[in-house]
Amino acid sequence: MLPNRSTIAAILAWSLFWLLMVLVAVEDFRRDGGQAIWQPILWETSSALVATSLLLLQRRFTARHDGLIATPWRWALVQARWLPLYWIAFAPLVFGIRHAVYALAGASYEHEPWGDVFVYEALKMTVFVGLFTAIGFGLLSYRQLLGERERAQQAQALLREAQLERLTRQMQPHFLFNALNTISSLMHQDVARADATLVQLAEVLRAALALGERPQASLADELRLARGYAAVMAERFEGRVNLSWDIADEALGVALPAVSLQPLLENVFKHTVERRRAPTRIDISAACREGMLVLRVDDDAGRLDAGPGDAGCRSGIALSNLRTRLAALHDGRAALDLFQLEPAGVRAEMRVPCAS
Q: What is the pLDDT of residues 244-293, one digit of tens each?
A: 999 999 999 999 988 889 889 988 998 899 888 899 999 999 999 988 99
**What is residue 311's predicted lDDT score, i.e. its pLDDT?**
40
Q: Which fold has domain 160-353?
A: Heat Shock Protein 90 (3.30.565)
Q: Tell me if the bond preceding 343 is cis, omega within 30° of 0.
A: yes
278-334 pLDDT, tens digit per residue, is 999 999 999 999 889 999 999 999 988 755 444 434 556 778 888 888 888 887 889
Return the H-helix or E-strand segment holding 284.
strand 280-289
Residue 240: DSSP 8-state? S
Q: What is the pLDDT of residue 49?
A: 94
pLDDT tens digits for range 38-68:
999 999 999 999 999 998 998 889 888 887 8
The per-residue DSSP string of 110-138 comes to: --S-HHHHHHHHHHHHHHHHHHHHHHHHH
* pLDDT score for 310: 44
> Is pLDDT of 213 > 80?
no
198, burial (CB in 10 Å: exposed 0-12, middle 13-18, buried 19+): middle
Q: What residues form DSSP beta bridges with 286? A: 247, 295
Q: Please state whether beta strands 335-340 and 292-299 pair in parallel, antiparallel, or not at all (unpaired).
A: unpaired
pLDDT at 2 over 70: no
pLDDT, position 339: 93
pLDDT of residue 169: 55
Tell me what pLDDT residue 3 has.
58
- Report domain extents, the chain: 5-153, 160-353
Quote the pLDDT of residue 160: 61
Report which of 237, 282, 289 is spatially closest to residue 261, judged by C-alpha positions.
282
Q: Is the pLDDT of residue 211 over 70?
A: no
End-to-end CA distance of the chain: 32
Structure confidence by residue, pLDDT tens digits, 110-167: 888 988 988 988 898 899 888 888 888 887 888 778 777 777 676 566 556 655 555 5
**69 neighbors 46 (Cβ within 8 angstroms):** no
Res 333: pLDDT: 87
pLDDT, position 132: 83
